[in-house]
Amino acid sequence: MEQNEKYSITELGPKESISRVMLKDTLSLTGAEISANRMSAGKSSLFAHAHKRNEEIYLFTEGKGLFWLDGEILHVKEGSVVRVSPTTIRCIKADDNTALSYFCIQVDEGSLVQYTRDDGIRSDIKPDW
């Protein structure tokens, strides 16, 4: 893991090797907590939970499973992306025959001020690859 003021990097390795990894402290993130998760086939979250102030975004990258949201059940799979409001109670279960890989991103609800064109600064520098 390299870390300096400009950037930090870590290597999670292949999805199959991950159980649960929290990234905020490792990467010195200041605007999000991010976890990388792989839930074994047939397993589910140990308990359902909600949040006080954080919005969560779930990026499902492999496998399939069920996402329980205040009693409603969504089917999720590779490519599903789900935003969950802070007070919604949530729980995840992997398919009985397929492990489920996903990232969970926690951010402070309402915290984004500006983005992309309003926040980005195009550079005239061209990397010499």
Of 21-80, binders to a copy of itself (CB under 8 A) are: 22-24, 27-34, 36, 44, 47-55, 57, 59, 61, 66, 68-74, 76, 78-80
Q: Decide whether 34 or 99 has the Cβ nearer to a copy of itself.
A: 34
Backbone angles phi, psi at 118, to 5 degrees: -75, -20
Burial status of residue 54 (CB atoms within 10 A of its CB: 0-12, 13-18, 19 or more)? middle
Least Å distance, CB 62 to a copy of itself, is 9
Three-state DSSP class for residue 98:
coil
Q: Which of 38, 40, 41, 88 binds a copy of itself (CB under 8 A)?
A: 88
Number of residues that bind a copy of itself (CB under 8 A): 80
- Long-range Cβ contact pairs of 19-28 (< 8 A, separation 24 or more): 26/1, 27/3, 28/3
Least Å distance, CB 28 to a copy of itself, is 7
Least Å distance, CB 40 to a copy of itself, is 15
Least Å distance, CB 94 to a copy of itself, is 11
Which parts of 89-108 interact with a copy of itself (CB under 8 A)? 89, 91, 93, 103, 105-108
Distance CA 34, CA 21 (A): 8
Which of 118, 98, 106 has the alpha carbon at shortest distance from 40? 98
